[in-house]
Every structure is written in structure tokens, then in C-alpha cells.
Structure 1
């Protein structure tokens, strides 16, 4: 049980209830998270639509986005986020066994060179962002546009925010995550 009360969408003004339900219905099984975020209308009004808009724009291939999110979530030991994003990464073409080994020094062969670059970048950008070297940035530019690098970095740091938010408030995984 979360440390704060989950707010049902029925308690919100119609505009916020619509955002809440759109996000909970379209983005994935994140109802417990959005029910806590609903305590802060500005966060609900801006964060959830931004995530939906980023997904719709598909500037960054889903596989790389989900690799980065799972890596950061593993670094932060956020079980909620790993449980939610592992299935997205499986849909993006990574086997469940490989997802489980994403932090191993000896990565499974199904992770190609770009996957490995994203894993490396996610680790550095989250743990020691002032140590993103010119060489690492140049490697990213070989495979990604500047807009994609910005989104990748944005999603890495947002993931860390959500990891900390979920863990600090003890947001529980939804039942459908385990289905």
C-alpha cells in the first residue's frame, strides 16, 4: 500500500480525470502511480501528457528507450519500474532472459552494438553525468540524431525521477503487471 492515499479519477475535475484515465488506459498498467501523482494537479496535467506525447512521437526507437529505462531502474533497484518496463522491452524484441541479464558484464549476444551503447550511456548518464565523454557522445551521434540523444537523456533522467518517486512513496505494482 502506498504511503499516501490513491486518488480515484472520480474525485478530480473533469479535465484532470480525463488525463488520468487516458494515461491509465493507454500508456500501460500505471494506475497506482497516476493515482498518487493525482495529489499534485500540475504534475498530473503536465507529466502524464508529456509521456504520452513522447510515446506518440516515437522519435526514439522503443527498444532503445526501454533498454535505458530498465538499466536505470535496475541501477536504482526500482522493482515497480522494472516490473512495468520488462514486458515493454520483451515486446521490443529482447528475450525475458536477456532482460534479466541486462546489467551483466557479459551481456547476451542478442544485445547488438547499439543496444550496448545505450546500456553504457544509460549507466553513465544516470550515475556520473559529468563523465559523459566526448568519445561517448561521438559514438551516440553515429547512431542517433541530436533530438534522439536529447530524448534518450530526458527519459533516462525522468526514469530516475519516477524510480525515486515510486520507491519513496511505496507505490505497489498493479495486479495486471504480473498477469
Structure 2
């Protein structure tokens, strides 16, 4: 149960109702995080615009972006983001097994060298302080252009924003996706 009451109907205000109508049209249901942000109407539009970092058109592969964001959600222990991230990842064509094993990317042969570089970057970026080593960055640059690195950085930063907000406010998963073994490994929330 969220720590803040989700607002719906007239209580959500006009912009909140419009944004959740768009969510229902796109995904078949209201988004609990949007219903919570509706408590602060001036923040609704900037909040939704943050999703452009995670779902907008980019030169960066949507599969790589989805994997990196999903790893951040795992590391931060955000149930809502893991749930919705699995949904978006499968929609982007990421195999369910890769989504389920994203936390083991370094040892899993299903992940390409480019996947591993992006995921190592996302992992370091997600840790407290967000410091990325020169070695990790150099490996990332072997696989991605400057534009792709910027797009990956924005996507992971946005994911961390959503993760931290949802976890702090107790936003739970909404059942967008039900992949086996997709929940955060024990202690994952302690890493961020």
C-alpha cells in the first residue's frame, strides 16, 4: 500500500485525469505513481516529461536501454519499476530470460559485450555517488557513440529518479508483467 493516497477522479485534477486517461489508453490502467504525483499538480508535467528519457526515440538500442534501466530498478529494489520495466523490456524485444537474469549480466553468456558494458555503466551509475570508473567508461565507449552514451546516461538517471521516488513512497507493482524470478535479489535495496 502506498504511503501517499493515490488521487483519482476529480481529486486528481484536470491534468492528473488527462495523464491517467493517457496511461489507461496506452497500458490499460492508471499509473499509481502518476496518481501520487497528482498531489502536486505543477509537478505532473515535468514528471511525465522525465519518461522521454526512458521511452523516447533514441539512437541507443531500446533493448540496451531497457536492460540498463531494469538493472537499476533491481539494484534500487523498486517493485513498480521492475514490474513496468519488464513490460517495456518485453515490448522492446528483450528476451524474458535476459530480463530475469539482468542482475547476473557479468557471468551470463546471453549478454553481449555491449550489453555488459552498458550494464556495468548502469550499475556503477546507480550505486551511491554514481561514480563510474575510467575503465568502465572506456569499455562503454568501445561499444557506443557519444550520443548513445549520453542517451544511456539520461535513461539510467531517470530510472534512478523514478526508483527512489517509488521506493520512498511505497509504490508497489501493478501487475504489468509477471516474469518468473524477476524480483530483486535479497539485499538489492541495500545497495543504493
TM-score (norm 2): 0.77
Asked if the contact 1:32/1:173 (under 8 Å) is kept, the reply is: no
- Distance change >3 Å, CA 177–CA 100, structure 1 → 2: closer
Alignment correspondent of 2:110: 110
The CA RMSD measured in Å over matched residues stands at 2.7
Alignment of 1:68-87 (within 5 A): 68-87=68-87
Alpha-carbon offset, residue 94 of structure 1: 3.2
Cα distance in 1 between the residues matched to 2:62 and 2:165: 23
**Aligned partners of 2:53 and 2:123: how far apart in 1?**
25
Q: Find the counterpart in structure 1 of residue 185 from structure 2.
A: none
1:165, 1:24 → 2: CA distance?
21
Report Cα offsets for 1:122-171 as digits up to 9, x if no partner: 111111533431x4333333333323222211221221221121121111
SS where residue 57 of structure 1 aligns? coil
Do 1:4 and 1:169's aligned partners in 2 also have CA atoms closer than 8 Å? yes
Q: Which runs of 5+ in 2 are unaligned?
A: 180-192
SS at match of 1:2: coil
Measured against aligned partners, the alpha-carbon deviations of 1:49-91 in whole angstroms (never above 9, x if no partner) come to 3414762423432111111111111111222211211232233
For residues 119 and 177 of structure 1, the distance between their equivalents in structure 2, rounded to whole angstroms, comes to 21
Deviations 1:16-57, CA, capped at 9 Å, x for gaps: 432343245336866111111111223211120341476242
Corresponding position: 1:123 with 2:123: yes
Stretches of structure 1 that go unaligned for 5 or more consecutive residues are none
The alignment's TM-score, normalised by the length of structure 1, stands at: 0.82
Larger displacement relative to structure 2 (123-132 or 110-119): 123-132
Count of residue pairs brought into register by the alignment: 178
Distance 1:56 1:19 in 2: 17
The answer for the alignment partner of 2:133 in structure 1 is 132
Instruction: Please give the alpha-carbon distance, in whole angstroms, between the structure 1 residues aligned to 2:68 and 2:105.
Output: 16
The list of structure 1 runs, each at least 4 consecutive aligned residues, that deviate by more than 4 angstroms after superposition, is 27-30
